Each structure stands twice: as C-alpha cells, then as structure tokens.
Chain A
Amino acid sequence: MKMDRRSFLSFVIGGAAGTTLSPLPWKLTDDLAIWSQNWPWTPVPEKGEVSYANTTCMLCPGGCGITVRKVGDRAVKIEGTKGHPVNNGGICILGLSGLQLLYGPTRVPSPLRRTGERGENRWQKVSWDEALAWVAEKLADLRGKRLSHTVACISGTDGGTVPRLMERFLTAFGSPNFIRTPSMRDSYEMTLHLMQGAQASIGFDIENADFIVSFGSGILEGWGSPVRMFRANSVWKENGVKVVQIEPRLSNTAAKSDKWLPIHPGTEGALALGLAHVILKESLYRKDFVGTHTSGFDRWSKEVVEEWTPEQVETVTGIDKSTIVDLAKSFANAKKPLAICGRGKGNTAGGIGEFMAVHSLNALMGNINRKGGVWAVPGSDHIHWPEVEMDAVASAGMQQTRIDGAGTDKFMHARHLLHRVPEMINAGDPSLVQALFVLDANPYYTLSDKALLKKAWAKIPFILSFSSFMDETAQNADLILPNHMYLERYEDVPYAEGFNKPFIGLAKPVVSPQFDTLHTGDAILRLAKALGDPVEKAFPWEDYEGCLDDTFGDQWEELQEIGYRVESDFEPGSRNTAFETASRKFEFIPEESKDAAKNVMVKAEGEEPAYPLVLIPYDSPRLASGFIGDPPFMIKTVPDTVLKENDLLVEVHPKTAQSLGISEGKPAVLKTPKGEARVRVHLFEGIMPGLVAMPTGLGHQAYDGYLAGKGINFNDLIGPVEDEVSGLDAAWGIRAKLSRV
C-alpha cells in the first residue's frame, strides 16, 4: 500500500485530531507558559529563614552602622542600623549598593599572578601558599641586599588593626614607608596639630551648631560621614539653622542652602580672612576665649585687618563687599556659628593656609571644643601592642628618609604626602620603591598627573595589591592577594570622619567568604611567619582574629555584640588642658610653623592665554570617587546631563559656551597642561562663567562593564600643586581650554 497525497493528508488530519484529543498540546502550552515566566536570568528571591546581621560599612570613612538582611545564607539587602550613633538608621546610595560589590563580577576570585604585560589583565590562578612564598622570597631578597626601606605601602586608612599590622610589618622589616592616601583628614590633622598642639581627628558638633558657613564642603555630596550630614541638614531645616554655601558651582548643597555665594575657585581662604577682618574690625569676636586661651592674636589680627579688607577680598573672590560684611555679622551674631572646609567630599588634602584661616574663624567665635563647635577628638587608643624589637637591618631601614618626604625638615608636620611619591620614584635610579603594597586604596586611579604616575609605576619592579575587587591598581599589579570584602571579614573601623566622639566600629562577617580570599590581616601574619625572625617575632598572634581578641581584651565580646564602641558622654578637654602647644593656648600663628597661614590661596596650574578657562571637579553622591568604583545600581542613577552613554558632559555657563561657539550636548576637546579629553558640553547657569566643571568618579578602566569606559577620569587632567609650607597637595582645579570639534 502506497501513500498518496490524500492518504497523507488524511494521516495528518487523523494525527491532528488525535493530538487534540491527547493531553499533549494542552500540557505543552501550560508548561511553556510556566517556562516563559521563569527565565533563568530572572532574579528570584532566596528561600529560607530571614535574619539580620549588624556590621560596619567600610566603603568610605563615614563609619556607618549597617544591618544586612539575609535570607538563608544570602545577603539580600543593606539597611542603616537603627539607633547607631553615627547614622541612626540612614544609609547612602553607595552603602545600599554594597551587595553588588559582594556578589558582582568585579571580585578577584583567588590569588592571581600576572602572566601578560602589566595592565593587560591576563592572570594565572595561584594557591595562597605559592603566592605568599613568592612575596616572602622577594622581600627576603630585598632585606638581604639591605634594601628593606624600598618596600612601601599605600593604604586607604590608618589607625585600625589591619593598617597598623601593615605598618608594624614594615617597621619590623625595616621600612618607614607606610603612606596613607590623601584627603582633608591630612589638612585638618595638621591644622589641629599646629594651632592646638593636638594629635587628634577633627570632630564637628554639627547637630548643635546654629549657623553654618561651608567653604565648599559638600554637606549633601558626601563630606564627612555622609548619612550623618544628611540627617544634620534635616535637623537644621527643622530648627531654622542657616546654611551659607560658598562655592563656584550650584551643587546639591548650594541648592539646599539658605544662601549660595558663588566664589572664584581657590579663593575661599581669602574670604575666610575677609570675614575675620570684619569680625575683628567690628569687635564681634568672643573676647573671653580670645583673651585667655589664644596666643599670637595681636599679630594675626593686625595682619588680617591690614591685608584683608572687604574691598581687597571682593577683588580676589568676586563676592560683593557688602555681602561679605553682612555674612561676617550674621556669623558673629549667631550663638553657635560653625565654619567648615574641605572641598566636595573632602577627597583631596587642600592647602593648609585655607584650613587654618577657616579654623581661625571658629577660634574667633570661641567655638573650639564646645557645644556646636569644632572638637579635637583623640585618636582611638585601642591598640597597645608591644614595641617592635628591631634588628640592625630594620633600624637602618627605619632611619632612611621616607620616600614622600613627610616628617623631613622641609615637611616637618606632614604625615603622608602620597602625591610626591611618583616624582621621587622617577628621580631615583634604580627606583626608590622596589616593592609596593596597596591596601584599601586605588592609587592608579586616584593619583593625579597620570604621565608621571605611569612612568613611576613602570619603574617599580614588584607591585602587590590586596584588593577584593579588580580595580585599576589591581589590574596593573603583578600579584593580587584578594582580601575578604568588608561584608565577609572582621576589621575595626577606628573613626567616623568628622564625628565628634571617640568611636570604633566593628566590621563583622555577615556572609562566609564567597571566593578563595584571605583576610589581609592573616596574609600579613603569614608573610611575617614566612620571613622568620626578627619580623616573625613582632607578631605574637596565631591569626588575625586572635590579634583582634588580644587587642580589645575584655572589651572584645562586648564590641562583637554591640558592633561599635562610642564614648557618648565624651566632652572635649577643658580649654586649659585642650591645647598642647608650647604656649598651652590656641595659636593663631603657630610657633612651630610661622609661615603655615601665609599661603591662603594656591594658584591653579597653567597660564593664560593658552588656557583661558579654569577646570574644577565636582563630587556627587551618585558617583563613588574614592577607592571604590560605582556599583551598577549607582551608575544607573547618574543623569544624562552628566554621562550620556559613554560620554562625559562638562558643565559650562551658557555665556562661556556662547563665546566658544559651543551649544548644548555638542562635543568638545578639553585640554589642560596635564592632559586632553574629548567631552560633551552641558550648559548650566549654576556654574560661574569662565569655569568648566567636571564630575569625579568616572573614567574607570577597570571594574565591570557597567563602569569601565564610561566618561573621563578627572585625575587624568590634573596634577598636584604642592603647598610650599605643608607639602600637602593643594590643587583644587587647573587651567584649561575648551574647544569645539
């Protein structure tokens, strides 16, 4: 029997009828419907028991307490810890996005050893034993050649047990080169040291102040401890506290302030002295404090009265002299006025003259170490380890000059001067740094003057990053020994930036390590062990947790339970004992460094007419600009007036743009003495004419596809400008040229 067309059709019809009468089509339709609603890439909440774990955020120096919501073993949400002394339940956008750093694709999964050229991003997985043995071998070799001092460490923080272990390791090994990354902390520490003789952190009793003058501080951009500042701002609004924001650009802070005074960038210090002039002239300062507790007042006031008249200040700053007089009077007539500085988030050091000028304003109003004022908060004193016993090599190494020159005769009061390191490396042959360790920092991205940096980088024979993430520094290292990320590890956080009470937060593991990582504290201990005595015997602990236990002693259990330690009833020392200067008084002109206050303004690099404009950076809470890059959640929130696809937009006043013949959204070339970049232009009336403003935190080359290649790194276009007296990097901007293409 042969099948013809009719039979075939009949077979098909029979088949169709039979299929209809079978469950196949109905079941298949149902299954496909379910299948199509459950794509494997659709995020599905974990099933399991819900629990909460408290820890401390380590993504910025804010020291916020965070509560991580977990389902089973999976962390699913980060919230601010209610009742925490720093942030009381609040959280910022970066803190909130921390889970994407934990589970995201930027993690370094195991120790990695470079196989290609530096920066090529070609790696070979190595075991921890192998990796540590390799480092120990390199270090032993350097020590053997009496080159222990050529080992340096760049660290994002100091004071906590991990950076202190690193510092101790370097000491026992024989190197003085533990270098902290720059921030306003440097300048404020030096200000307190010079004017008050205090080795202390700056603290602001902001909640109790009743009139705020901010010299460019991004109160709502992430300055100090960001969440605390946000909350304080709300309290100010409720209580009618006035905020005056002084900066050249209409930032979030400026927009929410009671008064915004656009100022020529870099002249904030002059305005501070202009205000001081009016206060002195009108005799509005607090005579009780100034008379009894200060020294050098007569000379200082004479200089200020002579040199900084409102007319002169108007010329320099561009702010109307009557405005200056009014502001000075309002400030002085307030009960608890407070002046703060540190531009944007405070990620740069700044000139010491400017900080001292602003601090002098506070001193004139007598609000040093009192309610609503500026407090000197003693550094955490929880680490009492025995003195390191140095052998001959270590002592010889420790007597070498620090590579950054901090603490030398020239920069006697500076503790860390990272911006000087690339230049010093380039000056020496062979390189003064033979091995570089990088801890919680991303100098390859954050350091300015990229040409100089890259040259120096190439001269360092061995670079080791402890980063948990594939950041620019890790990508350009020779070896990565990934630390547990902050949600996976114990670590003490020894301060909360700008907080006015001694505080220690504790980061605790809320999830078990997701990858083959090792706590850097343990990595240091294991390295010490591998090097043997005398380095080994400086570390009498089995492991890092043992070290923490030993360090905190009987407070360890309590700290673990509560998650932080704060002296809530802390009162800054009474004024008779608070000042530890030679005169035991607040020094308007410090005995130790008479010239410190001189450099109130620092000039931007570059000359007219080649560079007719001035480029300034601006910080945004939506752009992480420290050692962490933006996680995907955050980069999504950046508006297209800042980043359009991969193009960065610079802000220019419409008048300036008109004179250059550039219109909204058009491409342009931005050139500075340090670099050149293709950008687009966003016309913005909130920026002073003659300026170009550029967001920080973009232009990453590393991290993941959500961040890499987006925009321009501001640090590529600027170089350091050294404050002659302090040595700190005082650059606040750079001259620039913007031309249409």
Chain B
Amino acid sequence: MSTNDDKAKEKAVAETENHPGHSEDKKGKGSGGSILLFFLVGIIASLLVGWVVFPKLLYSQKKQPINFNHAFHVETVDEGCASCHFFREDGSFSGVPKLAQCTGCHEEAQGEDPEEIKFVTQYVEKGREVPWLVCSRQPNCVFFSHAAHVELAKMECVTCHGPIGESTHSKIYEENRITGVSRDIWGRNIAGIKRNSWDRMKMEDCAECHAEAAAKEVSELEGPMEGFFNNAVKIAFPKSLSGRKTSVQTQNEACFVCHK
C-alpha cells in the first residue's frame, strides 16, 4: 500500500515539475482508512492532552505550611466561622486570621498535636506570619465585598466556601501556573461543571445567583438586538438584591464595581 502510494506521489511530483498546474489527482487511492486512522489518533491524543495532561501541567501542587483542622476549631469556639473570620469595625472583612489572632489562644501549645507545636515554635515564638495559601483568593483585579453579601444579603459562608468548616486537615493547594490563583476558583472539574454552589467561583457563578434575583425585573429589558449587552448586564447584575443596586457604595451598576 505504501509502495503504491509512494509511486503515486513521485509521479505527482514529477508531473507537477513538468506541467505545473496540471497535476493529476490520482494519489491517495485506497488511503481513506489511513486518513481516518490519523484523524482518530489526532482527536484522541488531543482530547487526552486537553482533558488529562493539560490540567496536570497547569496546576502545581503545594502543601499548606500548617495542617489545619477546621472541624476541631469550629467545635471549640463559640461564634462559628465569625470567631476567626470576622468583620472589622470599619466593615471590612478580616479574611484569613493574622498571627495576632491565633496567639490569643496559642501563645503556648495547647496540646500534643505536632502541627500545633510546629505552629508555635516556627511562627508564634518567632513572630512570623504564617504564609497560608488561600484557596478562595480571587485575582487582584477582582473586587468583592463580604459585607454586601454576608451582612446585607444574609448569605451563609457555606454557599460560596462550602463545608470547609467540617474539614479535619488542609488539602493540597493547587496553584494555576499562569494566573497564580487557586484551582478552586475555576473548580476541580476542568470542564467547569459544578454540582454545588461552592464548587467554582468564576464570574458566571456570581452571575448565576445574581440572575435569579433579576428574574423579577425582566420587564425592564430592552429590545433583543440593540440592548443585548445591557440586557446581559441587567440579568447578571440586577438592581434588586434586597432592593439595592449592584454597588452599595455608588448605588450604580458598572463593570468596575467588581472589575478593578
């Protein structure tokens, strides 16, 4: 088969050289199977690369500096998540606790846990902040107000963060090598499919929730053609979340409310 093919090719080349523009299309006779095979090889290989190899290459794996037991801490404290992740007096959200908050209890080791001892000796005693790897951290260009969601819209932590409070150890932090943010933002599923509201946190995931609240305001939509973009924004970011516009501060709607 290949011999025929070669000959045909040689012939074609010779003909092309002798009579440019008059090449005969006789080559590839009987090669349909091979073409299909290569097509299949190509498609399978690229699917493998795209679905299996690419995610492995895209994310690096890092260990948290201290293996943290959320479940144990939630049991011990009185006010649930807010015991450590609280709103400051000025309304800003404290996020991951600083060393100063931990030392309130962990000035000295409370028990025998090697992780706690490591925490006390390496960080508390030396006065060094723990370089936690934050899975929920959005890229720097994203602005997000916890106050608007937790205080005003009365959302639960679990809705976005999942049952992290029940975890007994820190999972491996997977960092996107290109963007530098955690894999949790795009979600574990490389196709971006989610089962729970907290599985991923891209713009469309924000939009999904905002759109539900917008359903009541469809009457304000403009004609489908001219108002396409405006409608999209309106659905995604409705005026009404408990009666307020998208931005609490400016009472306004604009891309720059979230995108800095």
B42 engages A21 (CB within 8 Å): no
How many B residues have CB within 8 A of the partner chain? 44
A11 to chain B, nearest CB (A): 4
- Indicate the size class of the contact surface on chain A: 35 or more
A13 contacts partner chain B, Cβ-Cβ < 8 Å: yes
A34 engages B181 (CB within 8 Å): yes
B51 engages A22 (CB within 8 Å): yes
If A7-B38, A10-B36 touch, does A38 touch B179 (CB 8 Å cutoff)? yes
A104 contacts partner chain B, Cβ-Cβ < 8 Å: no
Query: Which of B184-192, B229-237, B247-255 makes up part of the contact surface?
Result: B184-192
Contact with B along A1-12 (1 / 0, CB 8 A): 111101110111
A347 and B191 alpha carbons, distance in the complex (Å): 68
A37 contacts partner chain B, Cβ-Cβ < 8 Å: yes
A50 engages B90 (CB within 8 Å): yes
Q: Which of A18, A30, A50 contacts B92, CB < 8 Å?
A: A50
If A6-B35, A10-B36, A35-B178 touch, does A18 touch B46 (CB 8 Å cutoff)? yes
Chain B, 136-192, CB within 8 A of any chain A CB: 139-141, 176, 178-181, 186, 190-192
A18 engages B43 (CB within 8 Å): yes
Contact with B along A533-550 (1 / 0, CB 8 A): 000000000000000000
Q: Within 8 Å CB of B102, what residues of A?
A: none
If A1-B2, A27-B190 touch, does A18 touch B181 (CB 8 Å cutoff)? no
A320 contacts partner chain B, Cβ-Cβ < 8 Å: no
B88 contacts partner chain A, Cβ-Cβ < 8 Å: yes
B194 to chain A, nearest CB (A): 14
A10 engages B42 (CB within 8 Å): yes
A34 and B181 alpha carbons, distance in the complex (Å): 10
A13 engages B39 (CB within 8 Å): yes
Chain B, 4-33, CB within 8 A of any chain A CB: 5, 9, 28, 31
Chain B, 26-66, CB within 8 A of any chain A CB: 28, 31, 34-47, 49-51, 54-55, 58
A18 engages B2 (CB within 8 Å): no
Query: Which of A41-49, A238-246, A700-708 makes up part of the contact surface?
Result: A41-49
A612 contacts partner chain B, Cβ-Cβ < 8 Å: no
Q: Within 8 Å CB of A16, what residues of B?
A: 42, 46
B122 contacts partner chain A, Cβ-Cβ < 8 Å: no
Q: Give the residue among A16, A18, A31, A47 with the most B Cβ atoms within 10 A.
A: A18
A22 and B51 alpha carbons, distance in the complex (Å): 6
B94 contacts partner chain A, Cβ-Cβ < 8 Å: yes
Q: Within 8 Å CB of A27, what residues of B?
A: 54, 58, 186, 190, 192
Q: Which of B38, B40, B98, B180 contacts A3, CB < 8 Å?
A: B38
Q: Within 8 Å CB of A38, what residues of B?
A: 139-141, 179-180
A84 to chain B, nearest CB (A): 23
Q: Within 8 Å CB of B44, what residues of A?
A: 14, 18
Residue on A with the closest CB to B192?
A23
B50 engages A18 (CB within 8 Å): yes
A6 and B12 alpha carbons, distance in the complex (Å): 14
A49 and B50 alpha carbons, distance in the complex (Å): 42
A-B pairs with lowest CB-CB distance, top 8: A22-B50, A14-B42, A18-B46, A18-B43, A14-B39, A24-B50, A15-B42, A14-B43
Interface positions of B (Cβ within 8 A of A): 2, 5, 9, 28, 31, 34-47, 49-51, 54-55, 58, 88, 90, 92, 94-95, 98, 139-141, 176, 178-181, 186, 190-192, 202
